[in-house]
Amino acid sequence: MSEKELWALVKRNVPGHLLRIENLMGAGIPDSHLTHKGKTVWLELKIGKGNNVQFQNTQIAFFNEAKKHGANCKVLMRKNDLLYLIDSEVIINSVYKSIKGDRVSININELSKAWIWGMPWKWNEIIQRIYE
């Protein structure tokens, strides 16, 4: 599965005004911005490969700055048949190692504060967690 396919899955199942903004803005901006019933969230989409998920340093910096100003930022990751929803604060506070200078890698097994769903996915619960 690609991030494009994950985005299509989100669009089919998550209500609200959903915008895919990847590559339209500056470095580090999350892939999408969602608004529903007065609540907004920046949502970064990831595909899990192996035991690690990779972020650009600019993404970590965006999460950190946005959180300082009260923004809701989350990461939705799919790895095989599992969906992970991770608050950006967990990413900010994770122990990560630098790879290739401008990227960081976080071990998926260290994301103990992630919400994890197996198939069939419970979209009502996922939607609630995305917007809270």
Give Cβ neighbours of residue 51 (< 8 Å, ≥ 6 apart).
Answer: 107, 108, 109
Position 65 scores a pLDDT of 94
Position 95 scores a pLDDT of 61
Angle at 75 between CA 129 and CA 80, to 5 degrees: 95
Position 123 scores a pLDDT of 98
Q: Is the peptide bond before 15 cis (omega within 30 degrees of 0)?
A: no
113 vs 80, which has greater pLDDT?
80
User: Is 23's pLDDT higher than 70?
Assistant: no
Share of the chain above pLDDT 70, in %: 92
Position 22 scores a pLDDT of 66
User: Is 105's pLDDT higher than 90?
Assistant: no
User: Is 110's pLDDT higher than 70?
Assistant: yes
pTM attached to this predicted model:
0.92
